[in-house]
Structures are given as structure tokens and as C-alpha cells.
Amino acid sequence: MSSSPLARFRRPLARVSAVLLIGLSLGACSSFSGFNLFGSKDDTPPDEAADRLYNEGLFYLNSEHKPKDAVKKFEEVDRQHPYSEWARKALIMSAYSYYQSGSYDECVAAAKRYITLHPGTSDAAYAQFLIGASYYDQIPDITRDQDQTDKALAALDEVIRKYPDSEYAASAKQKMEVARDQLAGKEMQVGRYYLDKHDYTGAINRFKVVVTKYQTTRHVEEALERLTEAYMALGIVDEAQTAAAVLGHNFPDSEWYKHAYALVKSGGGEPSENKGSWISKAFRKIGLG
């Protein structure tokens, strides 16, 4: 994260308060202190000052490292002073506090609420980043479903697309690269499984996803070598030679290229690129070929 939001929220705002005075004259002076308009005792505690609640929340975050206690204070600001500038600030800090405590679902909910209520403010970019970071921190290993990874990519892409000049865009890009690598790794895992089962068509379809969608990840070299294996096994030599040639052209020092080259040579051929192949077109499209 580019900078802690605590420093940005320390600046005092003009205190927001509203006082409602109700005078009742029944021909004689009476004191209604502690009673509501119906004559019964009012046990509702008086509202605390918004700035005091807010600063108490910051104290719990900064000095006590108690994000859950901070959330309570920030939510009290919203409850007691719902339309104030303090409430707006408290809402984004609630999202941040939830994130700090690992309460990711609550963080996402608070951040989405902030964006809905205050879409044009400078902190909307941070709220969107918190959504992406919450999903990102829940990315599982590649053996499990990657729904959280997909959500992280989508949310982080929103940061870059809607707030490209924000201080969070660079961090969002870095997290996206990791998330994309994770999705590519999942495709590779499944592709290798199909390859081991001699389901070469199924394997090719998985490796093709890596080559076309996740070409900038570390898995693309292996994907091209695995494509060489699968195409050679199916007897589609032309595509095998193209996969090996593209691998060699873009990653000449790769160990995977050495394997692909040896495989093609063992079949009596040479790595040779067919410009009409989907593999060649995929790399020319992204500018690597």
C-alpha cells in the first residue's frame, strides 16, 4: 500500500454538530431534562462529539493496534452523525479497520458502501483498492477453486481503469500480476493432469489459455514446451514445430526450449514457425514475437 491512511486522516476537520432546541410553554416553566416528549424517562445516552469518536478510533488503530475496537468507534460516528463529513471519513476508516483485522467480507461491504455514497471523492480510489486487496489476500493455492483470484483481478482492474493517476494504481498492477500468475498456474496444473492422462486435446486447450491470456507470466515458457509435447503426441508436427520455434525465439536461454528442441529433433524435424498458426498470431498480437 502506498501510504498509511492514518496519516491522511489526522488532519482535523471543522467540527460538525447540530443542536435542536425545543421549547414548550404550557403557561408555567417546567424542566424536561431526562424525559422525552411523552413524559417517560429517556435512557438514550447523549451523542458524543463526532471528532472525539473519530479520534478514539484512530487511537485504537495507531496506538493500541485494536482494529476491531476502532471499527466500533468509526461506526458510532456514522450512527450518531450520519450526514456529517466525519461520517464520510469514518466509513472509509471502518473499511480499513476491517481489512486490518482480517474481516475481509466486512471490509468489502464497507468499501462498496463508501463508493456508492461518495463516488466522486478522492478516497473512492482507496475504497476500490481495499476491495481488491481483500480478495487478493484470500487467494488460495492453485489446487483449489480460484473464484477469489478472479474477483481480485476484477476489483484491482477497476482501480487502474477508473483511477489510473491515483497512488494505488501501481500497487494494484503489481497485485494483478501475481493474481494472473496464479490463474496461469491453475491452468498449467490442469493441463499437466490431462497430459499425464494422455488427453492431449484437453491439455492443449489448457496450455492455450496460458499462451493467449497469461503470456506475461512465468508459466508461458513451460506452456509452449507442453504444447510441443502434446502436438507431437497427436502427430500434428507443424504446430509442435511452431510452438518450439516461438519458444526459442522469445526465450532462447530457457531450459524449456532445450526440451522442446530435443523433442522436435527426435521426431526428425526442426523448430520452424508457421506464421499462420494460432501460436504465432498470439505472440505477434502482444508484441513478443
Q: Tell me, what's the pLDDT at 176? A: 97
Q: Tell me, what's the pLDDT at 21? A: 23
Q: Tell me, what's the pLDDT at 207? A: 98
Question: Which residues of the chain are under the pLDDT cut of 50?
Answer: 1-5, 9-44, 288-289
Please check whether residue 222 is in contact with residue 203, taking contact to mean a CB–CB distance below 8 angstroms. no
274 C-beta neighbours (distance < 10 Å), count: 16
With both helix axes pointing from N to C terminus, report the angle between 169-196 and 220-234 in degrees, rounded to the nearest 10: 20
Q: Tell me, what's the pLDDT at 3? A: 46
What nine digits make up the cell of 206? Answer: 489448457
Q: Tell me, what's the pLDDT at 22? A: 24
Q: Tell me, what's the pLDDT at 48? A: 87
Angle at 163 (CA atoms; ends 160, 166), nearest 5 degrees: 100
Q: Tell me, what's the pLDDT at 82? A: 93
Measured distance CA(25)–CA(39) in Å, rounded: 15
This prediction has a pTM of 0.79
Q: Tell me, what's the pLDDT at 80? A: 95
Q: Tell me, what's the pLDDT at 160? A: 97
Q: Tell me, what's the pLDDT at 6? A: 55
Q: Tell me, what's the pLDDT at 285? A: 65
Which residues in 191-211 are b (16+ Cβ under 10 Å) and which e? beebbeeeebebbbebbbbbb
Give the model confidence (pLDDT) of 46-86 as tens digits.
578 999 999 999 999 998 889 999 999 999 999 999 999 99
